Structure 1
Amino acid sequence: MAKTPDSTSKESFVEETRQPADLEKDASAGGAYIVGEDTDADTRGLKTTKNGKIVLIPQPSSDPDDPLNWSWMKKHTVLLALLLPSLLTDWGMTWGTTLFELQAVTWKMSVPAAARSVSGGIFLQGPGGVLAVPFVQRFGRLPVLFWSQALALIMIIAATFSPSYASFTAFRALQGFFGTAPQVIGLTMIHDMFFFHQHAVKINIWAFCFVIGPYVGPFISSWLLIKLGWEADMGVLAGFYGFSTCLVVILGKETLYDRENNRVPTAGASRISLLTGVAGVKATGMPKMMDVFKHLFELLICPQLLLPCLFVCIQFMWAIGIVTTITQFIKPPPYSLNDTDASLFYLAPIVGSIVGELWGHWFNDWLCNRYIRTHNGNYEPENRLWGAYPGAALALCSLVLYGQTLQHTLPVVGLAAAWAIMAFAQVSSTTAISAYALDCFPHHAALASSWINFWRTTGGFCVTYFQTQWVAKSGAAVTFGVQGAIVGAFTFFVIATQIWGKKWRVNHAPPAAEN
Structure 2
Amino acid sequence: MRNHVGIFEPSSTNIDPPGTCLFDPPESEAAELGAEAARLKRDPKRPEIILRPQPSNSGLDPLNFARWRKEAMFFVLIISSILTGCIGPLLVPAFGTVAEDLGKPVSAVAKLNGILVLGVATMLIVVSAQFLGRRHTYVACSVLSFVGCCWGAVAKDYNSIYGARILMGAGMASAAVMLGSTITDMFFVHQHGVRIAWWQVSYCASVNLTPIISGVIATNHGWRACFWVLGAFEGAVLVGIFFLCPETMYDRPASASDPLEVEKYTAEHIEDKEKEGAMTSSSSAIEAQQDGPVVDTLSFGASLKLWSHFKPRDPLYVVVLRPFAVLLSPHIFYSNLAYTISFAWFVMTGATYGQMYEGMYYQESVSTVGVLAGVAPMIGTIAACLISGPLTDWSARYLSVRNHGIFEPEYRLVVLIPAFITTAIGGFGWAWTVGPGWNVLVSTSIAGFVFCGCTLGICAVVGYANACYPKQGGDTFAIMMLASRAAIFGMTYVVNDWLALYGVKNFLGIMTGVTLGLYLLGVPVYCYGKRIRSWTAQSKVLGWCCS
- TM normalised by structure 2 equals 0.80
Q: Which residues in structure 2 correspond to 1:334-483 (within 5 Å)?
A: 334-337=362-365, 339=367, 342-343=370-371, 346-408=374-436, 410-483=438-511
Shift of 1:338: 5.2
CA distance change for structure 1 residues 419 and 360 in 2, over 3 Å: closer, same or farther? Answer: same
* 3-state SS of paired residue (1:335): coil
1:39 matched residue in structure 2: 30
In structure 2, stretches of 5+ residues that fail to align are 1-15, 257-293
Q: Which residue of 2 aligns with 1:207?
A: 200
Change in 2 beyond 3 A, CA 1:514/1:149: farther
Distance in 1 between the 2:52 and 2:433 partners?
Answer: 49
Corresponding residue of 1:228: 221
- Distance in 1 of aligned mates of 2:96 and 2:325: 44
Which has the larger displacement, 90-99 or 333-342? 333-342
Q: Give secondary structure in 1 for the equivalent of 2:472.
A: helix
**Alignment partner of 1:289 is 2:282:** no
User: Deviation digits for residues 97-125 of structure 1, max 9, x if unmatched?
Assistant: 2221212332445545533332xx11222
- Opposite residue 305 of structure 2, the aligned amino acid is L
Contact 2:429 2:443 in 1 (8 A): yes
Check 1:312–1:26 CA distance in 2 against 1; reply closer, same or farther (3 A cut): closer
Shift of 1:221: 0.7
What one-letter code is carried by the residue in structure 2 that aligns with 1:74?
Answer: R
1:380, distance to aligned residue in structure 2 (A): 2.5
Query: CA 1:87 to 1:37, structure 2 compared with 1: closer, same or farther past 3 Å?
Result: farther
Flag the 1:264–1:257 CA change in 2: closer, same or farther, 3 A. Answer: farther
* Matched AA of 2:42: T
CA shift for structure 1 position 266:
13
Q: Mean alpha-carbon deviation: is it higher for 325-334 or for 461-470?
A: 325-334
- Cα deviations across residues 382-419 of structure 1 (Å, max 9, x unaligned)? 22212124324433443333344444362121342244
Secondary structure at 1:95 match in 2: coil
Instruction: Pick the structure with greater CA Rg.
Output: 2
Q: In the aligned structure 1, how far is the partner of 2:171 from the partner of 2:190?
A: 32
The residue type paired with residue 395 of structure 1 is: T
CA contact (8 A) 2:338 2:458 kept: no
**Which among 307, 321, 325 is matched to residue 298 of structure 1?**
325
CA-to-aligned-CA distance 1:346-404 (integer Å, 9 cap, x gap): 22222111111001122112322332343343443222212124324433443333344
Query: What RMSD, in angstroms, separates the aligned Cα atoms of the two structures?
Result: 3.1
Give yes or no for the alignment of 1:93 onto 2:84: no
Letter in 1 for 2:365: L
Structure 2 CA distance for aligned equivalents of residues 375 and 315 of structure 1: 30
CA-to-aligned-CA distance 1:410-453 (integer Å, 9 cap, x gap): 21213422442222123211221122112210111111121232
Identity %: 23
Match of 1:63 in 2: 58
Quickly say closer, same or farther: Cα 1:170–1:285, change in 2 above 3 A: closer
**1:96: Cα distance to partner?**
2.0
Letter in 2 for 1:83: I
Count of equivalent residues: 485
* 5+ long unaligned stretches in structure 1: 1-24
In 2, are the aligned partners of 1:256 and 1:264 still within 8 Å (CA)? no
Given that 1:48 and 1:54 are in contact with CA atoms closer than 8 Å, whether structure 2 keeps it comes out as yes
Contact 1:382 1:501 in 2 (8 A): yes
Structure number with greater CO (CA < 8 Å, separation at least 6) is 2
State yes or no: 1:149 paired with 2:142. Answer: yes
Counterparts of 2:339 and 2:326 in 1: how far apart (Å)?
16
In structure 2, the residue matched to 1:249 is 242
| Alpha-carbon contact 1:137-1:286 (below 8 Å) kept | no
Query: CA–CA distance in 1 between the matches of 2:157 and 2:297?
Result: 44
Structure 2 CA distance, aligned partners of 1:123 and 1:354? 27
CA contact under 8 A between 1:29 and 1:505: conserved in structure 2?
no
**1:466 Cα offset (Å):** 1.9
1:292 counterpart letter in structure 2: V
Could you list the per-position Cα deviations for residues 186-205 of structure 1 after superposition, in whole angstroms to 9, with x for gaps in the alignment? 12111111111111122112
* Counterpart position of 1:22: none
Q: Is 1:104 the equivalent of 2:99?
A: yes
Offset, 1:81: 2.1
Question: Which sits farther off after the overlay, 358-367 or 32-41?
Answer: 32-41
Partner of 2:517: 489
CA shift digits 1:26-68 (9 cap, x unpaired):
7713689744266268942211122422221111111223211
Aligned counterparts of 1:26 and 1:326: Cα–Cα separation in 2: 45
Aligned to 1:9: none
Letter in structure 2 aligned against 1:245: L
Distance 1:454 1:397, change over 3 A: farther
2: distance between equivalents of 1:478 and 1:71?
53
The change in CA–CA distance for 1:27 and 1:511 in structure 2 (over 3 A counts) is closer
Match of 1:198 among 191, 194, 214: 191
Query: Residues 285 and 116 (structure 1 numbering): CA distance in 2 closer, same or farther, change over 3 Å?
Result: closer
Note the C-alpha offset of 1:494: 2.6
**Which of 306-315 and 156-165 deviates more?**
156-165
Residue 274 in structure 1 maps to residue 305 in structure 2: yes
CA pair 105-419 structure 1, distance change in 2 beyond 3 A = farther
Q: How much does 1:317 deviate?
A: 1.5
Partner in structure 1 of residue 335 of structure 2: 308
1:107-161 per-residue CA deviation (whole Å, 9 max, x = no partner) reads: 445545533332xx11222221122111111111111111111112222322333
**Cα distance in 2, alignment partners of residues 37 and 82 from structure 1:** 41
Q: Give the distance between the partners of 2:43 and 2:505, measured in 1 at CA.
A: 53
Is the aligned partner of 1:28 residue 2:59? no
* CA shift digits 1:229-252 (9 cap, x unpaired): 112222222222222212211221
Residue in structure 1 matched with residue 533 of structure 2 by the alignment: 505
1:129 to 122, 127, 136: 122
* 65-74 vs 300-309, which moves further: 65-74
Distance of 1:135 and 1:514 partners within structure 2: 19
Q: Does 1:77 align with 2:80?
A: no
Q: Is the partner of 1:184 in helix, strand or coil?
A: helix
| 2:48 aligned partner | 53
Distance 2:483 2:296 in 1: 32
Distance 1:61 1:310 in 2: 36
1:319 aligns with 2:320: no
State the SS of the aligned residue for 2:412: helix
